[in-house]
Chains A and B, each alone.
Chain A
């Protein structure tokens, strides 16, 4: 029982790390511009497809293809942002929602057209396969890898937000866009940069999740709710909050699947409604937060 519990906890952390990678970009863009990007998970999905394509068509091995996926998707994200999304920044949320849902539909349809409706698979490097044993507890190497990547990204993002000039500009823009702009911070460019980073991380998460969660054209919609839930739970614009929320959700999902399989996705939606009822602005409120 205890050993199972530890295994579930570790798996939950690994799953949470993936969710963190995929949703942190959404959190930043939402906090920065108040931009509701429902197509964010579609961008993550494209990262997954880019990895699959890089490995199967170009014949690259896992890590180079992963790097390719991250770069290509981040460029694509910026193209979407400059070419489409920036026209609705000042618009009411409904316009943003509809525009990004439109983008989500188009990306999903394009993915079905290009890659077909079936599940995609990748072969991961040999040293990530199999299980590690810590005494009685067995733990998949790949899951451990995911957890490490998640922690590394968290650390890098944190340092980037606290130590770098760009991070300071992002924080200033999140706190008060108008004042930041009047101080000479190019908020639009900061946002573009943040969007590129967010897309790159989404692509990383999407690419790494091919092995763990599977990839099909429905991905963008399937995980959208989870990402939104994480952002709302963690508070838009907060990296630490997003991380904690991701871990919470990851554990809730794995534990729910393990101990109460009949409940299914029910737990997550219920959790979301309860949290939003108690704290309409998330666990960490929108305006008082640290990076």
Chain B
């Protein structure tokens, strides 16, 4: 009778592959103890990519300016630390609120209109915030970046050490909490409503979904999550560079998500890992080549593997299962 609720309940169940995936996060701590700083960056980028997945993969809003919220979160958290509000957890919340507030102000602009105007608006907003941060150098430090950020120990116990141990655990927990939230959200009727809006806004409107409202809500939520990611970066680095707001960052995070796979929750996490590990090894050789390979990968992914790595793995797993079933009739 109640097919929808049954479907959602099925979707909410944890697959063993998901559990294995999450066990990799603590495993990496023991296997690569020397790479915890990179690991922290991956976790933060993964959270940022996850936030983009909500708005781009699930709601279908093509945005080229998501770094705006990442940057706002980073600057808010950085400013708090600089001005003496050194407690990290409340800093995260305030940063999230700041990003969400700006998103709420701009949501109306972004959520109506067609794909092209959304693209333009988000691109323009992203550039606008970059320009604001650049000009307001008395507050943000401009091109020199924001210095003298002090963050007191997490929960009053765990100080941020220079090997990035606290930062890694802190970021991992934040990512996991963010992921649980996102996972819960997209497996609600609200998540299905977003699917409907993305696939066909006219019909979704006809069955009683308030398109603009649904899109605005996910946009604000996603901005808050991006703000948390930015705040994490500011707190763990204790420095904010202006490139948190740059177009490159928006393009990078979109690339991570596309490589990993859109609209599958894990795409951003997988993509961020692949992207940053590759960047760490390739960009060290030459940053220009890195941009070249990045462009090539983008093109190849769009042409040949829509759905990214996650979809690829899923397809392969399916094929294996079919083969096994055929073998034992």
Interface of A with B (CB < 8 Å)?
Answer: 30, 36, 84, 87-88, 91-95, 97-99, 101-110, 112-113, 117, 221, 225, 228-229, 232, 236, 262-266, 269-270, 272-273, 276-277, 280-281
Contact = CB atoms under 8 A, between A and B. Distances in A.
A270 B255 CA distance: 27
Given A262-B135, A265-B127, A232 B295 contact: no
B112 interface: yes
Contact of B299 (A36, A84, A264): A84
Contacts of B303: 87-88, 99
A228 B295 contact: no
Nearest to A117: B288
Interface residues of B, number: 42
Contacts of A280: 112-114, 117
Contacts of A92: 115
A110 B292 contact: yes
Interface stretch (B95-103, B118-126, B201-209, B215-223): B118-126
Contact of A98 (B258, B289, B296): B258
A113 B120 contact: no
Contacts of B56: 94
A276 B295 contact: no
B299 A273 contact: no
Contacts of B302: 88, 91, 95, 98-99, 102
B289 A225 contact: no
Contacts of A108: 291
- Residue of A84, A92, A97, A106 ringed by the most chain B CB atoms within 10 A: A97
Contact of B119 (A93, A106, A113): A93
A273 B125 contact: yes
Given A93-B116, A262-B135, A273 B295 contact: no
B294 interface: yes
Nearest to A110: B292
25 contacts: A36-B119, A92-B115, A97-B62, A98-B255, A99-B298, A99-B302, A101-B295, A102-B297, A102-B302, A105-B291, A105-B295, A106-B296, A109-B292, A117-B288, A225-B123, A228-B123, A263-B135, A264-B134, A266-B128, A266-B135, A270-B128, A273-B124, A276-B109, A276-B121, A281-B114
